[in-house]
């Protein structure tokens, strides 16, 4: 069964204090790994898609990396506006089938000024 | 902001009633997926539509059904509402075989 586990469940940082969020996954065949940011009561906002081990992508203070078993979202010098829940999802290969996403429960990040 | 729009944004229904939620996909996208997100949980896949046909379904009962229209917009219908159906319902738009999936702002459904 395809499964995604995110850790920690919640993380509090001081402004400027860099850290990483973890996403561990088991999947029959990985088509892609997705990262999203979600603000309270809103829909997830697309951040990155990673496809193969060793791949890295960056956007402002965020950098996502991928290995064969996990992905990390590194946050460098975070600001209060980076506070949100970060969701990780895998998209399994499914020949002729759906391109569904299997999500973890998310990491709630709070950045204090 | 994505081009995916959902309506309504909030809805309150009584147990046993039926509800229809709507989604307009982003221009150029031909695939629509629906997800249910309970409070404090990650989104759970309900089903996906491609070329107006259901193309994959998650672990949801048949009282959850949907449609996709020729313009790629979509509806999610839920019959015989239960209290546990209270959640944020999310629509995701993508191009089949593509690299991104964009979500709408969601519909908050409360069943009382």
Cβ atoms of A23 and A101 closer than 8 Å: no
Cβ atoms of B50 and B96 closer than 8 Å: yes
Cβ atoms of B8 and A73 closer than 8 Å: no
CB contact under 8 A, A101 and B55: no
Cβ atoms of B112 and A112 closer than 8 Å: no
The reported pLDDT for the residue numbered A28 is 87
pLDDT grade, residue B96 (50/70/90)? confident
Instruction: Quote the minimal CA–CA distance from B18 to chain A in Å.
Output: 23
Determine if the peptide bond prior to A73 is cis (ω within 30°): no
Average pLDDT over residues B89-102: 90
Chain B residues within 8 A of A4 when measuring between CB atoms: 42
The reported pLDDT for the residue numbered A96 is 66
Q: What percent of chain B has pLDDT over 70?
A: 98
DSSP letters for chain A:
--EEEEE-SEEEEETT--EEEEEEEE-SSEEEEEEEEE-TTS--EEEEEE-STT-EEEETTEEEEE-SSEEEEEE-S--GGG-EEEEEEEEE--TTS----EE---EEEEEE-
CB contact under 8 A, B99 and A4: no
Cβ within 8 Å of residue B49, ≥6 positions away: B31, B32, B33, B55, B66, B67, B68, B74
What is the C-alpha to C-alpha distance for residues B51 and B66, in angstroms, rounded to an integer? Answer: 13
What is the C-alpha to C-alpha distance for residues A29 and A35, in angstroms, rounded to an integer? Answer: 18
Instruction: Quote the minimal CA–CA distance from A41 to chain B in Å.
Output: 8
B35-62 confidence digits (pLDDT tens): 999 999 999 999 999 989 999 999 999 9
What is the C-alpha to C-alpha distance for residues A73 and B76, in angstroms, rounded to an integer? Answer: 33
B18-46 b/e (C-beta count within 10 Å ≥ 16 → b): ebebbbbbbeebbbbbbbbbeeeebbbbb
- Chain A residues 48-107 with a CB less than 8 Å from chain B: 49, 87, 89, 94, 97-106
- B42: nearest CB among A42, A87, A100: A87
A69-113 confidence digits (pLDDT tens): 999 999 999 999 999 999 999 999 876 678 899 999 999 999 999
Which of B37, B43, B45 has the highest number of chain A CBs within 10 A, making it the mutation to test binding with A? B43
B17-30 confidence digits (pLDDT tens): 999 999 999 888 89
pLDDT of B2 higher than 70: no
Residue given tokens 């009962």 in the structure block? B61
CB contact under 8 A, B101 and A101: yes
- A46: nearest CB among B31, B97, B102: B102
Q: What percent of chain A has pLDDT over 90?
A: 90
Which two structure tokens, joined as six digits, stand for A2? Answer: 């395809």
User: Average pLDDT over chain A, rounded to whole?
Assistant: 95
The reported pLDDT for the residue numbered A95 is 65
For the sheet with A19-26, list strands across it. Answer: A3-7, A19-26, A70-75, A62-66, A56-59
Instruction: Quote the minimal CA–CA distance from B79 to chain A in Å.
Output: 23
Average pLDDT over residues A25-43: 94
Closest CA to B33 of A1, A91, A38, A30: A91
Average pLDDT over residues B73-88: 98
From the CB of residue B98, how many other CB atoms can be counted at a distance below 10 Å? Answer: 14
CB contact under 8 A, A43 and B104: yes
């Amino acid at each position: 069964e395809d499964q995604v586990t995110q850790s920690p469940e919640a993380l509090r940082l001081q402004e400027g204090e860099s850290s990483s969020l973890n996403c561990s996954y088991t999947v029959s065949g990985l088509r892609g790994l997705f990262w999203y940011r979600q603000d309270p009561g809103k829909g997830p906002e697309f951040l990155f898609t990673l496809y193969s081990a060793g791949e890295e992508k960056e956007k402002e203070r965020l950098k996502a990396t991928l290995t064969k078993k996990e992905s990390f979202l590194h946050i460098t010098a975070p600001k209060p506006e980076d506070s949100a829940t970060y969701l990780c999802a895998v998209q399994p290969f499914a020949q002729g089938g759906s391109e569904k996403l299997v999500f973890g429960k998310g990491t709630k990040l709070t950045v204090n000024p | 902001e994505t081009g995916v729009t959902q309506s309504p944004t909030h809805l309150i229904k009584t147990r046993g009633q039926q509800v229809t939620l709507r989604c307009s996909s982003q221009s150029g996208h031909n695939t629509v997926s629906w997800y249910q997100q309970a409070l404090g949980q990650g989104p759970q896949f309900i089903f996906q539509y491609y070329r107006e046909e259901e193309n994959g379904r998650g672990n949801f009962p048949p009282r959850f059904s949907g449609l996709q229209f020729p313009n790629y917009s979509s509806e999610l219908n839920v019959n015989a509402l239960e209290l546990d159906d209270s959640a944020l319902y999310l629509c995701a738009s993508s191009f089949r075989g593509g690299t991104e999936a964009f979500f709408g702002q969601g519909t908050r459904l409360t069943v009382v």
